[in-house]
Structures are given as C-alpha cells and as structure tokens.
Structure 1
Amino acid sequence: MTASAPSANFSTAAAHTPGKIRNRVLWTLQIVLGLFFIIASGGPKLVIPNTLMENAPENLTIPIGLLIFIGVAEVAGGIGLMVRRVSGLAAAGLSVLTVLAAATQAFIADKPAMAIFPLVLAAIFAWIAYERRDTITALVR
C-alpha cells in the first residue's frame, strides 16, 4: 500500500495555531509585555519627555521629537500585543524596535552591557511574532 499525501485543502492557518498551553503562555507574555511597554517604557516618553532628557544623559543625543516618536511606537506596540488581530505584527515591530534600542545602548550611549535586556526582549517578541504568524498572514489577505 502507498501512503496518501496530505490533503491540499488543509488550512494553513490551523497549521500555525499554537496549542492550548502555548497559547496561554503567549497571551500571558503579551499582556505583561504590553502593559510594560504602555506604562513603563512608552508612557513616560509621552507624558514627561523633558524630564527624561534631563535625567538620562544618554538621551541627550536623541532629539525630543524622536523620543516622542519612540514613545508612540512603544505604546502602539504594547496595545497591539493585546489585540488578537494585530498581535503578530505588533510583536514583529517591537522586535525591530528593541533591536534598535540595543544598538542605541551599545553604540550611542556606549553601554554595551545595557543592550542585553533589549536583545532578550527582541528574542521574545520574535518568538511571539513567529507563533502569531497566522494573524500576520490574515492581515495580508
């Protein structure tokens, strides 16, 4: 007997959907990291950008407009992590943002040891984006 090939009608979205436990872990990470980016990371850049510029010398080389733009991107990414339809895209965007933050820490602020945390976050966001890739392909369609 010959083995039959998988059906061509198999849904690709179902093939990329994580299992029940992995889905819970992902949602827990997405909510915790989303709240972190809204409250602790992006929020202060929008509410008190001048105070941040005065208290963090490494931010003195970053124009205040760019700092506000980064804050908006972080808050939007944090909100996007908690919205099912755009969670994969938000995670991909935050992955890029945190890699750029690591590069800023390493090269502009001249503190390469401070780049470890953003790189760990980038890896977590890349994993979330990979697991939520069905939402990205759904947006493309």
Structure 2
Amino acid sequence: MDVFSIILQILLGVGFLLFGMMKFGSKQMVENFKNYGYPNGFRILTGLVEIVAAALLIAGIWNEQLAAIGAFLAVATMIGAIFTHIKVKDKAKDMMMPLVLLVLSVVVLFSNYSFLLG
C-alpha cells in the first residue's frame, strides 16, 4: 500500500468518525434528518454505519479487505446522502461534501479491491 492510500484512508476514517459521532448529538443533525423526513432511528443507524466505516478504513491500513469493506460502506452511505439532498431539492453546494467523500471513498475502494480477484 502506498503512502497516498494510507493518508486517504486516515483522512476518510477521521472524517467519517466525526460525522458519525455528530449524528448522535448534534442539534443540526437532528434538524437535518427531520427535514429530510427520516425517523430519529435512521439518524442513529447512519451514525453507526459511518463509525463502523471509519474503523474499517483505519484498520484497512493493515488489511486491504477491511479497507475495501469500509470504503464500500462509505460509498453506499454517500450515495444515500446525495440522493437525500436531491430528494429535498437542496442546492448543489449542500451536496459537495457527500460528493467529495463519495469520490474519495471510490478511490479507496478500487485501490483495495484486489483481494476480491483472488
């Protein structure tokens, strides 16, 4: 694994950890999920998925299978976030963070998928 991949996994891991933790107590997140029309439990589930993705991305520095699984969770979560922003007709600027995280997660996923090939 090269230095770029390690740095990218650490940045994504820390980012998803912080965003995941925000889902548990941030008033802004509570309001956002309410505005999106999602139940409170879905906000908690999303936070848990983000924290698990973060842990897998960081552990993936030593195990590419874990990195790929974490990246897959991150990709799926960011696709959901983008569709949510589209659903509620948010401005494009509100979709930039999920879009950037999606692209970076795809890079990590494809740089660690070789374990699937055998």
Give the TM-score normalised by structure 1: 0.70
Counterpart residue number, 2:44: 68
| Equivalent residues in 2 for 1:59-138, closer than 5 Å | 59-60=33-34, 61-84=37-60, 85=63, 86-108=66-88, 110-113=89-92, 114-135=94-115, 137=116
Determine if contact 1:35/1:78 at 8 Å carries over to the other structure. Answer: yes
Work out which of the residue numbers 16, 22, 37 in structure 2 matches 1:44.
22
The alpha-carbon deviation at position 77 of structure 1 amounts to: 0.3
Residue type at the aligned position of 1:79: A
Alignment root-mean-square deviation, CA: 1.8
Gaps of 5+ in 1: 1-17
Distance 2:96 2:17 in 1: 21
Distance 1:91 1:112 in 2: 26
Moved over 4 A (4+): none
Distance 2:74 2:80 in 1: 10
Give the TM-score normalised by structure 2: 0.83
What does the per-residue CA deviation read over 1:31-84, in whole Å, with 9 as the maximum and x for residues that have no partner? 011011112x000212x16x332xx3x421210100000000000001110112
Gaps of 5+ in 2: none
Distance 1:43 1:131 in 2: 27
Determine if contact 2:20/2:49 at 8 Å carries over to the other structure. Answer: yes
Distance 2:79 2:96 in 1: 10
| Equivalent residues in 2 for 1:16-31, closer than 5 Å | 23-31=2-10
The alpha-carbon deviation at position 116 of structure 1 amounts to: 2.6
